[in-house]
Amino acid sequence: MVIQSTEIIDTFAEAFGMWAARVIITGETPKWAMAAARAMTGFATSVIGCRCEAGIEREIPSDETPDGRPGVSVLLFAGSAKGVGNRLVERIGQCVMTCPTTACYNGLEVEEKVIVGGKLRYFGDGYQASKLLGGQRLWRIPVMEGEFLIDESFGVQPAVGGGNFLVLGENLTVTLEAVEAAVDAMRIPGVILPFPDGVVRSGSKPGSKYKELPASTNDAYCPSLRGSAPKTDLPEEVTCVLEIVIDGLDEKAVGESMRLGIQAAVREGIVQITAGNYGGNLGQFHLHLHELMQG
């Protein structure tokens, strides 16, 4: 398959089952809601080293938030419902409750829940108070600037992590232009791109020559290793490879985000677009590039 002058390789991205939560952060102004969201999603690019993956889903206007203030939606992913709950307690407690004027609400109305505000309430040292609003219990935790309001529990649901594609370009300039355009197109509801501004240069393969490492550099796609790595998957004219990783609340959202991104990335100077997989043996979700682009 060739779109414009870019070849789309007949392969698939291998994605994995995860668990996810949506957190709605509000603030007195958009600045403070975003400050908390940025802090909460820091150091959350990959479960390999960060124990979770998180990112900003979108900004939310005041008329769509629970308290009528400007807000930001954050998605957080981990390998289990318990893992999501633990990371929410840590990150909301350290990054949202600490941020001036913020409140924090559950953004997924699903059956399975994890306790978050019900644990953070103990910071109130006995001065915390609860209230029921629409059948949902919230906690009011006293802080030096007023009160921090948070839902007692947050919904968690099965999700999809690790959707991906690789952009192979003739040079750094055109490859950066391609992935930046792709990222702009890919930010749709229900997905996040957890790496810095959506892009990762240090793509990995499972395993390593060093037994203590679970992952190591994807040498088959490193232009500097031509001639020294056991094999290369790079066409001769490719000098730069960048990857985009996608996490989503379901497979459909991940696939649609990938389709939009690939469509935006194709251009003169982008030789190929491919995807990372492990032969289909590790992840239960197989997102075939040709099927996405035809569908």
Residue ending a domain, among 157, 179, 210, is 157
Can you give the pLDDT at residue 103? Answer: 98
| Residue carrying the six token digits 């839902």 | 151
Longest dimension (CA), the chain: 67
Packing angle, helices 251-265 and 172-186, rounded to 10: 140
Q: How many C-beta atoms surround the C-beta of residue 40 within 10 A?
A: 27
Q: Residue 182: how many CB atoms within 10 A of its CB?
A: 26
Q: Is the pLDDT of residue 282 over 90?
A: no
The answer on pLDDT for 254 being more than 90 is: yes
Could you tell me the two tokens for 25? 């952060």
Indicate whether 148 pLDDT > 90.
yes
pLDDT of residue 265: 98
Return the DSSP state at 201. Answer: S
For residues 286, 46, 170, 179, the Cα torsion angle rounded to the nearest 10 degrees is 80
- 151 shares its domain with 242: no
Task: Quickly count: other Cβ atoms within 10 Å of residue 28's Cβ.
Answer: 15
- Confidence category of residue 136, pLDDT binned at 50, 70, 90: confident
56 and 153, same domain (yes or no): yes
**Residue 81 shares a structural domain with residue 102:** yes
pLDDT at 295: 81
- pLDDT above 90: residue 227: no
Same domain flag for 130 and 177: no
- Residue 73: per-residue pLDDT: 98
DSSP for 144-196?
TTEEEEEESEEE-EEEEEEEEEEEEESSHHHHHHHHHHHHHHH--TTEE--SG
Would you state the structure tokens that stand for residue 87, as one six-digit string? 């990371």
Looking at the predicted structure, is the pLDDT value of residue 280 above 90?
no
Q: Give the number of C-alpha atoms closer than 13 A to the C-alpha of residue 43, restricted to the C-beta side.
A: 8
Q: CA nearest 75: which of 24, 119, 36, 116?
A: 24
Cross-strand pairs, 149: 140
Same domain, 39 and 72: yes
* pLDDT for 133: 82
**CA nearest to 196, candidates 73, 38, 83, 66:** 38
State yes or no: pLDDT of 239 exceeds 90. yes
Confidence of residue 134 (pLDDT cuts 50, 70, 90): confident
How many residues appear in the chain? 295
Burial of 105 (0-12, 13-18, 19+ CB in 10 A): buried
Same domain, 194 and 93: no
* Average pLDDT of span 150-172: 98
Same domain, 226 and 184: yes
* pLDDT of 180: 98
Domain co-membership, 191 together with 114: no
Q: CA-to-CA distance for 198 and 182, rounded, in angstroms?
A: 9
- Mean pLDDT (the chain, rounded): 96
**Which pLDDT score, from 0 to 100, does residue 246 have?**
98
Report the run of H or E that residue 247 belongs to, with start and end: strand 240-248
Residue 158 has pLDDT above 90, yes or no: yes
- Domain's final residue, options 135, 157, 179: 157
Q: Which token pair is 260?
A: 């939009």
Average pLDDT over residues 39-44: 98
pLDDT of residue 22: 98
Enter the DSSP assignment of 226.
T
Over range 23-38, report the average pLDDT.
98
pLDDT at 118: 98
Lowest pLDDT segment from 29-38, 190-199, 205-214: 205-214
Query: By C-alpha distance, which of 262, 244, 259 is closest to 292?
Result: 259
Q: Are residues 176 and 89 located together in one domain of the fold?
A: no
d(CA 20, CA 288): 23
Q: Which amino acid is at 257?
A: S
Return the minimum-mean-pLDDT range out of 8-12, 33-37, 231-235. 231-235
Separation CA 16–CA 246 (nearest Å):
11
DSSP structural state of residue 79: S
**Strand-pair partners of 165:** 244
Highest mean pLDDT among 132-146, 177-191, 204-218: 177-191
Is there a single domain that holds both residue 48 and residue 96? yes
Poorest-pLDDT segment among 98-102, 144-148, 213-217, 237-241: 213-217
Average pLDDT on 201-229 reads 92
Number of domains forming the structure of the chain: 2
**Shared-domain flag, residues 171 and 285:** yes
If asked whether residues 153 and 34 sit together in one domain, one would say yes
Q: Any idea which of 109-118, 137-146, 209-218, 244-253 has the lowest mean pLDDT? A: 209-218
Task: Tell me the β-bridge partners of 18.
Answer: 159
Range of the domain at 289: 2-14+160-294
- Band the pLDDT of 199: cuts 50, 70, 90: very high
Q: What pLDDT is stored for residue 102 in this prediction?
A: 98
What pLDDT band is residue 281 in, cutting at 50, 70 and 90? confident
Among 112, 141, 157, give the residue marking a domain's end.
157
> CB under 8 Å to 186, separation ≥6 — which residues?
193, 198, 244, 246, 257, 258, 260, 261, 264
User: Is 206's pLDDT higher than 90?
Assistant: no
- What CATH number did the domain enclosing 280 receive? 3.30.70.520
